[in-house]
Amino acid sequence: AAGVLSRESGHEQVVFCHEPRSGLRAIIAIYSTALGPALGGTRFYPYACEEDALADVLELSKGMAYKNAIAGLDLGGGKAVIIGDPERDKSEMLLRAFGRFVQSLAGRYITACDIGTFSADMDVVARESSYVTGRSTELGGAGDSAVLTAHGVLLGMRAAGEQVWGRWGAPWQRRIGIQGVGKVGFRLARTLAEEGATVIVHDVDQRALDRARAEIPGVQIAPDLDALLTADLDVFAPCAMGGVLDERTVSRLSARVVCGAANNQLADETVAKLLDDRGILYAPDYVVNAGGVIQVADEIGGFDLVRATKRADRIYDVTREIFRRGAADRVRPDVAAARIAEARMADLAAVRTVH
């Protein structure tokens, strides 16, 4: 079944991992190694069934290939999902069993953190595998990738704001709505609020909201997603799960810019046009949220935050370039971004087969 799926979806390799003693059920998907080893995080999530997990990992690994390509990294795209409730099912045994599977791929796949996994977990996985990033800083790792993810999203927001309004303007003139105040959304919200922007957030986890209220000056809480979407916003920043933008949510959105950290924000391929038709500028998710992978990729050669931050600073130029190319070619930004990523993968794949 994996072979058929892999052929149909364009993936190079899909690996189903079962280890009964630890209860591990995971899937590792490698979309492309055209540019180098496939780097992408491990999502630990209570999927309703294996099919849902497979659909997610196929989509996410493809997204990583595009993200790494457009970020200029010498890395392909991959992703892993562990099926289970991280709060209940995570154990040393399970993480080490997962590490054995990562190791078995001999460097074709390099893992990192994602939703439900943290640097401390990567430290455990790294006891079984050499192909792990996002480890704790005390162990020489890059640590929490939310640091440069939030940094990159802010730069993307500035580039998008300049495109729409001519300039980003004074922070206090901007009203930003953020869905999800977890690792990335919280940092984004705090930085924007500290700069003086009006920040409105929504989260389904009361603990995340309590923390936001306690630590983010002046933050406003929207009781539900609809209240957030219809609030008077300049920018909507999806920072929770994927798929938040669909026909219904786009029709309610008051913002002129969508720019956030979540992967796969558009529920399907029709949504980019819906946004465009409403005059809402969409900064492609994998372009502006590449700061995290830039941060963990730096760990491969020995982590240096200054170097990684400089590299993440380029997200501003890349986002501007996508808007420029989109306008020049008369295509939406998502199309312009995909063209650039696909061209780099195809061109370098061809060159790299020449001896």
Active site residues: 79
Residues 6+ apart with CB under 8 A from 259: 153, 156, 157, 160, 235, 236, 237, 282, 283, 288
By beta-carbon proximity to ligand NAD, the closer residue of 185 and 284 is 185
Shortest Å distance, C-beta 149 to ligand NAD: 4
Shortest Å distance, C-beta 245 to ligand NAD: 12
Which bin fits 10, alpha (ψ -120 to 50), beta or left (φ > 0)?
Answer: left
189 near ligand NAD, judged by CB under 6 A: no
198 near ligand NAD, judged by CB under 6 A: no
Strand 281-282 and strand 257-258: the pairing is: parallel
Query: How many positions of this chain bind ligand NAD (CB under 6 A)?
Result: 26
263 near ligand NAD, judged by CB under 6 A: yes
β strands within 38-128, DSSP E: 38-39, 42-45, 76-83, 109-110
Widest pairwise Cα distance in the chain: 59
3-state secondary structure of 184: helix
Shortest Å distance, C-beta 283 to ligand NAD: 13
Query: CA-to-CA distance for 158 and 174, rounded, in angstroms?
Result: 11
By beta-carbon proximity to ligand NAD, the closer residue of 280 and 297 is 297
288 near ligand NAD, judged by CB under 6 A: no
DSSP letter for each residue of 119-136 = HHHHHHHTTT-S-B-S--
119 near ligand NAD, judged by CB under 6 A: no
Residue, CB closest to ligand NAD: 182
Interface residue with ligand NAD among 76, 180, 243, 326 (CB under 6 A) is 180
By beta-carbon proximity to ligand NAD, the closer residue of 137 and 173 is 137
284 near ligand NAD, judged by CB under 6 A: no
Cα 240 to chain centroid, rounded:
10
Using CB under 6 A, list all residues that contact ligand NAD. 114-115, 145-146, 149, 179-185, 202-205, 208, 239-242, 261-263, 289, 292
